[in-house]
A and B are shown apart, each in its own frame.
Chain A
Amino acid sequence: MSSGLSVDELDGPEGGGEAERMADETQKTSQVAGRSPTRIALSRLAKDKVAVVCTGILLLLVLLAVMAPFICDWLNIYPDQKDPNAPTPSEMLETGGIPSFGPPNYPFTWDHPLGIEPASGRDNLALLLYGLRTSLTVAVAATVASVIVGVTLGLLAGYAKGVVDAVLSFVIDFFLSFPFILGALALAPIITSRFGGDQDTLRRAELYSLVGILVLFGWMGLARLIRGQVLSLREREFVQAAQVIGVPTWQILFKELLPNLVAPIVVAVSLSVPAYVAAEAGLSYLGIGLTESPSLGKTVDSATVWFQRYPLYLWAPVVTIMIMVIALNLVGDSIRDAFDPKTRR
């Protein structure tokens, strides 16, 4: 795939339509001067069916997460017992914790489309929607933060030579070699016990600390990538020209170098979001993530012991996480392909 771009494209085994499209694109590029790589990539993406479908699914999930409070209001379901109208466990459950309505013992009811959570009597759909909300919030926040940290440090390390680069590279390698799960296991309880005065502070502390931990162990990949790119870019003529005419360093970094790094950054972002979604669920499953906010991973953890009697309880969050992570990954792959000029299409 990486050998000889033009040869590959010409000899590609694709059907006529594909070849035509490629030819068409080359033609356009030559006609419309100065079309940016981002725009090329976007137009390629728009023609990628998988990417379009997956983006649609993701938009739907985001919409569901954003609208969670309204949907719950409309369906009259509650994700917790804080609302005075929320039903108590004993109103929803029989002895032993099995729901008194809906599956597994009673027929399906529209009042609780995904059933009721055993032991707590909360509605599974409400839990799912709010869990989705938490998942996406954590993943997006962690991605944004780790991109900012990774890009900044990568730019600095790549552009500065000598000691600064050596120190930053060492830090990057140090964090890369540190076992993530071990770090999370050790840090999470310390942070939450330090800030966990009452429930609300604890909820915020947990959210921030989870994002913090994900960022702490998630920025290095991007930093390394950027550093490598900058190392080669910095020797290019336009950078040397800028240096010669005395452009300030920060301007070289952010005005000259950064725009050339959009592609790797976008690719890194698109692939790190699903990783963070999975990490949040995984950590919450292990009990070191979120305890005060609804979380898909936490629901999976509670549901495993019920699987034999009440499979729907486990399937709902598992399938949701699966769809979300697969869709995010496929979109990420498509974005990478679209930005990569070497991709054979």
Chain B
Amino acid sequence: MRLKQPIIAIAAVSAFTLAACGGDGTGSGTGSGNDDQPDTTQGGNTGQTQDPDREGPVTIDGATEGGTVTVISTSGLNTMDPTEAYYQNTTSILTGLVTRAWTQYAYDEENNTMVLVPDLATDLGRPNDDFTEWTFTLRDGITYEDGTPVEPEDFAFSAARSFDREAFPEGPAFSNDYFVGGDTYKGPYTGNGLKGFDAVEINGMDVTYKMATPFPDMLYWASFAAMGPIQEGADSDPEKYRLKPLATGPYKFGKYVPEKSLELVRNPEWDPATDPARTAYPDKYEFDLQVEEAQLNQILLEDSADDQATLTYDDVLAVNFDQFKADGRAAVGSFPLTSFWAPDYTKITDIKIRQALAYAYPYEDADLAGGYIEGVTSLPGAQLLPPGTAGRKDFNPLPDHEPGSTDTDAAMALLEEADAVGYEVKFLYTKDSDSGVKVKDAIVASLTKAGFSPKPVPTTIADFSSLRADPDTDINVRSGGWIADWPSGGSWFPPLLKSTDVAAGVLGANYSKFNEPDIDAQMKEIQTLPVEEQADAWGELDDTIMTDYFPLFVTRYGGVAQAYGSAIEGHFIDNTIGMPTWKNIWVNS
């Protein structure tokens, strides 16, 4: 999943490769409600809890209908085509308010977590024994905003659409990775219509997806907007559909100026009785995009009569957070983001030097300089798997190192042991971002104190990702971030640490250029294990990799600190994605 916009040093990439372990249906949640601090045990708990029997309609006690919710944000919406929406904001707005898919997440206020429940399907899907076939049954009486009924064939078309990497370069590619024909079928626009597409079989109201590789996580992929129904025809042409996707959910597109503003108005065709999670109390949503950060904070801080029904899904400025908290208008929560520093495994070959870096990194200073709020938008940790991920093991690869603390003396001692005092550390920073420069200053100061010779390499926000993705860039440390698409170790280790063909210029998200055939073999083995054993096996692998090889170290886990006006109710954090719980929002007039 991608962040709302590329952020310096994080610029997270999509987790779109192999994922094999599924949620096991056991809810783990000792949540604390919508407290001032995010629940640090939940970050990776991206909807492991499931409830296949939940039915609509949903009502909220005391909620009143009506009102207009204004949403302000500094970033634009890059594309609203359901097949291509893969940023935090686009995905969550579409699935929360506009388009429906097979499954969806519902917010559980008691445990402060998300529960996977059916949406257009009557259950959470029925796999065969080896997870190579998944069948979903469409509910009766579902229609699009124009009144035409949703047909099972529309799911076949959307599945075919999700294969088209050329028409939708930014969309998630799970269909290509798992479905039958993923390597041959090119999609309806790049290829020859639906010719050659045989991954979907329709039988009455039953839609069956056929996989080339076992895909136990299909029920999560089925919650993406890309898996919702899309009618074949001229209306769903990519150029057109990105401006006006047909709504099946409670709201449809009104006036939409790409990257600038979006108006969502009621969709009278939506029937709450068919929907186990969505409510639709506000009459209208107005998205005001590309608002200056200082202005956005000011609007929410002042909370004047006109702006009381306003909310934002951006993090508020650290300086204002105390004020929002005191006013009781802050929504905090965590989401499965791990930010890390990845020393180049082929250049920094001595594990002691990599460990010394972890001691020398200025966690606190970098948080302050980068505008993070310690304990809220930045949580310390040592494991690659964020808290809450199934099977996550409690361990510390550096027993003497308190996660999130800096110890330059210990780093110096390790460097002396490795006979590498004055070791040159080259890393990228964005010189056109004020916080990027300040974070760089903090890192340089701390590494120098620890006995390294830091050589920051300036680049721009625009060039950062491509320079980082080029294995030949003259740097020996890369900073990265990763957001899981669903709660499974399989969406973390293979994309981040499976060896890639660096010689051919392919780095992928393996920022540390990690290359250990033994670990590759273990990953392969885990993916063939019985599903219920996989979670713990990933947790073990985390321990093995970090303790024995230490290819990267965690700089922070992600959290969000959003704010809303005094008339907004039900703005909690969807911890699968770090966005507001759209389905629960209402206006208190």
Which residues from chain A sit less than 8 Å from chain B, CB to CB? 80-82, 84, 86, 88-90, 93, 95-98, 118-121, 189, 192-193, 196-199, 202, 287, 291-292, 298, 301-302, 304-306, 308-310
Contact = CB atoms under 8 A, between A and B. Distances in A.
A96 B321 contact: yes
B319 A118 contact: yes
Contact of A88 (B293, B321, B371, B442): B442
B434 interface: yes
Contacts of A199: 455-456, 458
Given A88-B362, A89-B365, A119 B438 contact: yes
A93 B369 CA distance: 10
Contact of B371 (A84, A119, A193): A119
A198 B460 contact: no
27 contacts: A80-B441, A81-B442, A82-B445, A88-B445, A89-B362, A89-B364, A89-B368, A90-B362, A90-B364, A90-B365, A90-B368, A93-B368, A96-B318, A97-B371, A119-B368, A120-B442, A189-B460, A198-B458, A202-B431, A287-B434, A291-B437, A298-B434, A301-B434, A305-B319, A308-B298, A308-B301, A309-B319
Main secondary structure of the interface of A (DSSP, over half): loop
Given A81-B445, A119-B435, A88 B460 contact: no
A202 B455 CA distance: 12
Contacts of A192: 431, 458
Nearest to B445: A81
Nearest to A104: B319
Given A89-B365, A89-B442, A193 B317 contact: no
Contacts of B375: 95
A77 to B, nearest CB: 16
A86 B435 contact: no
Contacts of A95: 318, 368, 373-375
Contacts of B298: 308
Interface residues of B, number: 40
B298 to A, nearest CB: 8
B364 A97 contact: no
B458 A305 contact: no
Q: Which 5 A-B residue pairs are closest in the complex by CB-CB distance?
A: A81-B445, A90-B364, A89-B365, A96-B318, A89-B368
A86 B319 CA distance: 23
A197 B455 CA distance: 10
Given A97-B368, A193-B463, 5 more contacts: A82-B445, A89-B364, A89-B365, A89-B368, A192-B431
A201 B318 CA distance: 33
Interface in B438-462: 438, 441-442, 444-446, 448-449, 455-460
Contact of A96 (B297, B322, B432, B463): B322
B389 to A, nearest CB: 27
B234 interface: no
Interface string B359-390: 00010110011010111000000000000000
Nearest to A310: B319
Given A89-B369, A96-B373, A97-B368, A84 B449 contact: yes
Contact of B441 (A120, A202, A304): A120
A119 B369 contact: yes
Nearest to B454: A199
Nearest to A301: B434
B294 A304 contact: yes
B297 A81 contact: no
Interface of B: 293-294, 297-298, 301, 317-322, 362, 364-365, 368-369, 371, 373-375, 431-432, 434-435, 437-438, 441-442, 444-446, 448-449, 455-460, 463
A227 to B, nearest CB: 39
Nearest to A201: B458
A86 B445 contact: yes
B434 A96 contact: no
Contacts of A310: 319
Contacts of A89: 362, 364-365, 368-369, 442
A95 B317 CA distance: 12
B582 to A, nearest CB: 28
Given A96-B373, A199-B456, A287 B368 contact: no
A97 B445 contact: no
B317 A81 contact: no
Nearest to A202: B458
Nearest to B455: A198
A120 B364 CA distance: 11
Given A96-B373, A97-B371, A119-B371, A193 B322 contact: no
Given A88-B365, A96-B321, A202-B458, A292 B431 contact: yes
A301 B456 CA distance: 23
B318 A97 contact: yes
A96 B324 CA distance: 13
Nearest to B430: A291
Contacts of A309: 319-320
B431 A196 contact: yes
A97 to B, nearest CB: 5
A299 to B, nearest CB: 10
B455 A120 contact: no
Contacts of A287: 432, 434
Q: A82, A88, A287, A306: which has the most chain B beta carbons within 10 Å?
A: A88
Nearest to A88: B365
Nearest to B368: A89
Contacts of B318: 95-97
Contacts of B368: 89-90, 93, 95, 97, 119-121
Nearest to B432: A287
Contacts of B320: 309
Contacts of A292: 431, 437
A96 B460 CA distance: 26
A304 B449 CA distance: 32
Nearest to B434: A302
A288 to B, nearest CB: 8
Contacts of B456: 198-199
Contacts of A84: 448-449
Contacts of A98: 319
Nearest to A288: B432
B441 A196 contact: no
B546 to A, nearest CB: 25
A49 to B, nearest CB: 41
Contacts of B293: 305
A197 to B, nearest CB: 8
A187 to B, nearest CB: 14
A293 B291 CA distance: 29
A132 to B, nearest CB: 20
Contacts of B437: 291-292
Q: B373, B441, B459: which has the most chain A beta carbons within 10 Å?
A: B441
Nearest to B323: A309
Contacts of B297: 305
Nearest to A98: B319
A291 B319 CA distance: 23
Contacts of A197: 457
A97 B372 CA distance: 9
A84 B445 CA distance: 8
B457 A198 contact: yes
A90 B368 CA distance: 7
A156 to B, nearest CB: 39
A310 B317 CA distance: 13
Nearest to A81: B445
A331 to B, nearest CB: 33
A287 to B, nearest CB: 5
A298 B436 CA distance: 13
A306 B317 CA distance: 9
B338 to A, nearest CB: 21
Nearest to B318: A96
Nearest to B433: A287
Contacts of A88: 362, 365, 442, 445-446
A181 to B, nearest CB: 16
A204 to B, nearest CB: 13
B317 A305 contact: yes
A61 B432 CA distance: 29
